[in-house]
Structure 1
Amino acid sequence: MNEIVVTALKKPYTFVVLSILILVFGIRGVFTTPTDVFPSIKIPVVAVVWNYTGLMPEDMSGRMIYYYERALTATVNNIEHIESQSYYGRGIVKIFFQPGTDTSVAQTQITSVSQTVIKQMPTGATPPLVLAYNASSVPVITLQVSSTSMTASQIYDMSSNLIRPALVSVAGAAIPNPYGGMPGNVMVDLDPVKLLAHRLSPVDVSKALNSQNIVLPAGDQRIGALDWMVQTNASPRDMNDLNMLPIKQVGNAVVRLQDVAWVHQGGPPQTNLVLVKGQQGVLIVVMKSGDASTLDVVAGVKKLLPGIVNTLPQGVSIKVLNDASTFVKDSVEDVLREMLTAACLTGLVVLLFLGSWRSTVIIATSIPLAMLCSVIGLGWAGQTINVMTLGGLALAVGILVDDATVMIENIDTHLEMEKDLETAIIDAANQIVIPTFVSTLCICIVWMPLFQLTGVAGCSCRWPKPSSSP
């Protein structure tokens, strides 16, 4: 401590430049360090979603999930435990790994085994959706899409095909499928009575559709000086063409699709509903991915919204319902307000009781500089500005106020002993260095048990560590 004080007194301009650098890089760190609600929590979990429309939960569990779990335990390393849920037409498997496992490598292993196990699944099974689970990927902004002149299916298609792809371009944004509305599909509703009357089964209709609703490449044909592109598109272009597809021929009579089914625009049964003033609408939930900043993601989405609205049909409105950046901004403003309040009150107390404007300036500048040093350290350590780090900075303000006030008061006491300024500063610093260090150490010791926590709570109390492969 004595060497630092003596060096500062002998080379004051060096420390002035250092203070300016802290101010510049500290302010830069405030704007460049990712800002979020919670710290980045690395939980090594991978979720796998199997889809098979119409399959009962019992069959999903016994014929798909059971064989898949056995394949995982035989080929994937570092598995801690596996959880699975089977629903109607859907099965969800969560693979929890040992702490420190690299989820990207684990995801690669899971994807490879998911491709090979399909042969053991029921006929028609498709590869699953493999997702790396991250607890930091939380919804940051929710958009409400509504229209007074469009149907629920049209709003859903517009949200999926126009709005969602435009928002995905925002750095750090992850957007699942919209909620509400109804996907637009061509529905073929079979009539069992008519099928029985024409001696047909649903399999016959399915075969007819698969064999006639096709698009095959035919290449090109060079005729003279021209090269013609040959098209063999047998896919119906409208509902009438689809209704006229032949299913069966009996003598000279042809049984067509319209004779045994009703073909119409529709969709699967709705499982969620969004109402806006009595009319159906759609919700688009924007989530942040991984280490992205909540403020950056929300700002990027809001910046794109005016341009997106201009490309949509008349009568379509997009409204922001939930905005997580407001909470983050309020938390940052609270800490800044507390820091400024502490600096002002401490400077005022020093000015009133010591009557020294120089001491007041020192107090008013030392506290913000110390806080900016903390922000720089957070950026170097790979941490984010979040509720936990902001809470720690708020607690640190009190310690800074105590240490700064004690130091200034002790220097003033030595000056009253008719010592010169340099001697007074050195003696005052040497006199309080041990008590100040011990008091600060006692406060730090209180928080030491937090570093022994395990699981999710322990991930928030440790610096990032290099992850190991499974």
Structure 2
Amino acid sequence: MNLPEFSVKKPVAATVLYLGIIVLSIVALFKLPLDMLPDITYPALTITTRYQGAGPQDVEEKVTKIIESQVGIVPNLKEINSTSVENYSIVQLRFDWGTNLDGAANDVRDRLDFAKRFLPDGVDRPTILKFDTSMMPVMFMSASGHQNYGRLNQLLKDEIAEPLKRIEGIGNVMVVGGLDRQIRVNVNKNRLSAYGVGLTQVVQALAAHNLMVPAGDINIGKQSFFLRLPAEFKDPTEISQTLIGNFQGRPVYLGDIAEVKDDFAEPLMIARKENERASMVIIQKRSGANTVKVANAVKKMLPSLIRRLPSDVDLKVVYDSSDNIKKSLSSLSNSVLLGGLFVVLVTYLFLFRLRSSLVIIITIPISLIVSFLFLYLMGYTINIMSLSSIAIAIGMVVDNAIVVLENIVRHQQELNEDEKTAAISGAGEVGLAISASTFTTVVVFLPLIFAGGLVGILFKQLGSVIVITLLTSLAVAVTLSPLLASRLVKKEDKKLKLRWLARMEEWMEGTINFLNKSLQKILVLALDNRRKTIIIIGVIFLISLGLIKFIGTEFFPQEDAGFIQAYVKAPINTPLSETDLLAQKITTDAQQILGSQREVIIVRSGQSPFGGAGFRQEGPNIIQFMAKLADKNKRKSDTELSAILRDDFKKIPGVWKVDFQTGE
């Protein structure tokens, strides 16, 4: 018993099987996370090492070069890039695509453990960062406040960051760019010498008096209580009263030899919103979390959190990646739906049989929906690559069903077979032909599944979804199509009795006859002039090859996402204060150029909040410029605006290099 015979003679089993697949596929569809692109883990590691108080030259000579020499022998290492800035060494390692990064990280960690013996005292333990697309911010916000700027960072951490961290799918919420509180102890060297006290003694005394000591537990009845002795400093006055030692029989307190100041830490980064000092709230999702779901949850909670902030604090969403994802996926989904409708319409226009068209209408979505079950089982996401594969496959899946259906109809009308017999014999007769046709198409897309590098990561989903969809369409054509045809397709298929539809059918039949006759004439002419035909085709082919070099290339097409980002680099060794002044000049120019075409401008000067985990060099001479643009109908395209800003930024004194990005 072959497959068509099984499905026709065992309709209940076949129906239950397909219903089960449909239900599972629909459940999988609603559980699939949404994202712009497949998860990409770049084959790169970043080693960040802090050497507090050291200048760029010392960092390079005493830290960076030592680390480079030790990690340079790690297997599969392709390239090393390093940046040495004040207080920090950043070494970026790029490996061959396909390298096991967990294993590479272990090898690097072993080499760093060995390198510690050569590093000077005072160097912090090197940290290894792995970069993947899940580290990119789902959303970031900017906040400014005149009266409360000094405690803005702490306000945002307590009132915004901590509640947001409780949202399912949130990986991390960072507050950066503002001022962080720091208690400064400015020791007077003369008094230190006069009282005969050493600096080490001061440090040890502060450490000894700033403790939280556990004191065991106590049982009272059926309850147990854990005890602790709080001995931590609560305010600067307590720190000033810390006993350091004795001098000539009298106690020496910290206030006698030093000034204790409630101040702010020296910033490694300065953020500004419309040239006003600001803090940034950066939200990252957990790997595998649904970007759109996380962003929606944040936006739902945000209004209630903002009400907790003082009235002078202005918190605004600058970037929301879910907006672009929803727009792109919605546009692509609409294209897929329209494509499916046109396939059904064209099929009906050529068949003009309602029941026969119903078979096609039922089999197309079943062939496509199985791809969502495959995506779920493989741990993939719904993104532009997976939806593009469905859009490509939608025109292919109908081929097998039409061939099978046409042959079933032929067996009914020309061979006078009954519905069941025609369904079995008609599908079985073309089974080998459509299998061969399907597998030749599958072979075309199969190499994408095994491609390496970034192309392989991006196009693996596209190739695998198309392959699964085509194989599903083959299975549907030889099982479900005969089953439906045996129940729906009759020898005398009813036609819709509409006058305009009858006229359209006559026009279509006339058009098809005209095309058949025209094609016959072209074939006769080509066969009578074979040599000329081959020469003409060859010339057209060669001309087409020659025109390839005039076609531009790009990795992804530019898309106007309403967001401009640029990296501006000042000369090396430019201090952060000077870079901040340059950032203010850039913002002023951008405000004049963009005018009402923008919603907000944010600039960040100095160290990246990601600690150099990306592929860009970071340091006190780097400015990150970001502009959220107004609606498309109120402005020029982001590409045009970027070109104008680029020309202006290059003319600003102190700007060394400008790199713009749009469509992100």
Taking structure 1 as the reference length, what is the TM-score of the superposition? Answer: 0.78
Q: Which runs of structure 2 are paired with 1:127-138 in the superposition (5 Å)?
A: 127-138=125-136
Determine the structure 2 residue equivalent to 1:285: 282
Is 1:168 the counterpart of 2:165? The answer is: yes
Write the distance in 1 (CA, Å) between the matches of 2:20 and 2:229.
68
Is 1:366 the counterpart of 2:367? The answer is: no
Q: Given the superposition, is the C-alpha separation of residues 270 and 119 from structure 1 closer, same or farther in structure 2, using an over 3 Å criterion?
A: closer
Which amino acid counterpart does residue 122 of structure 1 have in structure 2? P
Write the distance in 1 (CA, Å) between the matches of 2:434 and 2:356.
19
Write the distance in 2 (CA, Å) between the matches of 1:38 and 1:31.
18
1:8 positional shift: 1.6
Given that 1:331 and 1:390 are in contact with CA atoms closer than 8 Å, whether structure 2 keeps it comes out as no
Q: Given the superposition, is the C-alpha separation of residues 220 and 28 from structure 1 closer, same or farther in structure 2, using an over 3 Å criterion?
A: closer
Is 1:22 the counterpart of 2:21? The answer is: yes
1:364 positional shift: 1.9
Which amino acid counterpart does residue 84 of structure 1 have in structure 2? S
Write the distance in 2 (CA, Å) between the matches of 1:241 and 1:285.
35
Q: Given the superposition, is the C-alpha separation of residues 34 and 198 from structure 1 closer, same or farther in structure 2, using an over 3 Å criterion?
A: closer
Determine the structure 2 residue equivalent to 1:468: none
Write the distance in 1 (CA, Å) between the matches of 2:228 and 2:397.
79
Determine the structure 2 residue equivalent to 1:215: 210
Given that 2:4 and 2:428 are in contact with CA atoms closer than 8 Å, whether structure 1 keeps it comes out as no
Determine the structure 2 residue equivalent to 1:103: 101
SS of structure 2 residue aligned to 1:45: strand
Write the distance in 1 (CA, Å) between the matches of 2:451 and 2:278.
45
Q: Structure 2 regions of 5+ residues with no counterpart? A: 217-224, 462-664
Write the distance in 1 (CA, Å) between the matches of 2:5 and 2:253.
102
Given that 1:142 and 1:284 are in contact with CA atoms closer than 8 Å, whether structure 2 keeps it comes out as yes
Write the distance in 2 (CA, Å) between the matches of 1:156 and 1:328.
30
Given that 2:82 and 2:92 are in contact with CA atoms closer than 8 Å, whether structure 1 keeps it comes out as yes
SS of structure 2 residue aligned to 1:295: helix
SS of structure 2 residue aligned to 1:160: helix
Given that 1:350 and 1:356 are in contact with CA atoms closer than 8 Å, whether structure 2 keeps it comes out as no
Moved more, 376-385 or 407-416: 407-416
SS of structure 2 residue aligned to 1:34: coil
Alignment equivalent of 1:122, drawn from 101, 120, 123: 120
Q: Which runs of structure 2 are paired with 1:45-124 in the superposition (5 Å)?
A: 45-72=44-71, 79=77, 81-97=79-95, 100-108=98-106, 110-111=108-109, 114=112, 117-124=115-122
Q: Given the superposition, is the C-alpha separation of residues 344 and 450 from structure 1 closer, same or farther in structure 2, using an over 3 Å criterion?
A: closer
Given that 2:97 and 2:454 are in contact with CA atoms closer than 8 Å, whether structure 1 keeps it comes out as no
Write the distance in 2 (CA, Å) between the matches of 1:230 and 1:175.
30
Determine the structure 2 residue equivalent to 1:238: 235
Which amino acid counterpart does residue 263 of structure 2 have in structure 1? Q
* CA RMSD in angstroms, aligned pairs only: 4.2
Determine the structure 2 residue equivalent to 1:467: none
Aligned-pair identity (%): 24
Q: Which runs of structure 2 are paired with 1:397-436 in the superposition (5 Å)?
A: 397-417=394-414, 419-420=416-417, 421-430=419-428, 432-436=430-434
Given that 1:208 and 1:246 are in contact with CA atoms closer than 8 Å, whether structure 2 keeps it comes out as no
SS of structure 1 residue aligned to 2:129: strand
Determine the structure 2 residue equivalent to 1:12: 11
Given that 1:243 and 1:263 are in contact with CA atoms closer than 8 Å, whether structure 2 keeps it comes out as no
Given that 2:183 and 2:264 are in contact with CA atoms closer than 8 Å, whether structure 1 keeps it comes out as yes
Write the distance in 2 (CA, Å) between the matches of 1:172 and 1:82.
34
SS of structure 1 residue aligned to 2:396: helix
SS of structure 2 residue aligned to 1:174: strand
Which amino acid counterpart does residue 280 of structure 1 have in structure 2? R
Write the distance in 1 (CA, Å) between the matches of 2:313 and 2:23.
45
Q: Given the superposition, is the C-alpha separation of residues 407 and 8 from structure 1 closer, same or farther in structure 2, using an over 3 Å criterion?
A: same
Alignment equivalent of 1:296, drawn from 277, 293, 298: 293
Determine the structure 1 residue equivalent to 2:391: 394
Deviations 1:247-269 (A, max 9, x none): 99998998975887583422214
Deviations 1:410-457 (A, max 9, x none): 433443326232343345434544554454444444434535643222
Deviations 1:251-305 (A, max 9, x none): 89989758875834222146321326x6433222222343333233324433543
Write the distance in 1 (CA, Å) between the matches of 2:166 and 2:110.
28
Given that 2:35 and 2:290 are in contact with CA atoms closer than 8 Å, whether structure 1 keeps it comes out as yes
1:30 positional shift: 1.0
Determine the structure 2 residue equivalent to 1:186: 183
Given that 2:450 and 2:460 are in contact with CA atoms closer than 8 Å, whether structure 1 keeps it comes out as no
Deviations 1:69-122 (A, max 9, x none): 444467x66655544322221112234456555434544554465456434322
Q: Given the superposition, is the C-alpha separation of residues 133 and 269 from structure 1 closer, same or farther in structure 2, using an over 3 Å criterion?
A: closer
Write the distance in 2 (CA, Å) between the matches of 1:325 and 1:287.
12
Write the distance in 1 (CA, Å) between the matches of 2:427 and 2:251.
107
1:363 positional shift: 1.9
SS of structure 2 residue aligned to 1:398: coil
Which amino acid counterpart does residue 281 of structure 1 have in structure 2? A
Deviations 1:300-331 (A, max 9, x none): 43354355446555565544332222333334
Write the distance in 2 (CA, Å) between the matches of 1:10 and 1:253.
102
Which amino acid counterpart does residue 363 of structure 1 have in structure 2? I
Is 1:327 the counterpart of 2:324? The answer is: yes
Taking structure 2 as the reference length, what is the TM-score of the superposition? Answer: 0.58
Given that 2:183 and 2:260 are in contact with CA atoms closer than 8 Å, whether structure 1 keeps it comes out as no
Deviations 1:341-365 (A, max 9, x none): 3443343444455443322322222
Determine the structure 2 residue equivalent to 1:376: 373
Write the distance in 2 (CA, Å) between the matches of 1:434 and 1:144.
63
Write the distance in 2 (CA, Å) between the matches of 1:350 and 1:423.
24
- Highest relative contact order (Cα 8 Å, sep 6+), 1 or 2? 1
Write the distance in 1 (CA, Å) between the matches of 2:8 and 2:56.
77
Given that 1:343 and 1:363 are in contact with CA atoms closer than 8 Å, whether structure 2 keeps it comes out as no
Write the distance in 2 (CA, Å) between the matches of 1:220 and 1:298.
44
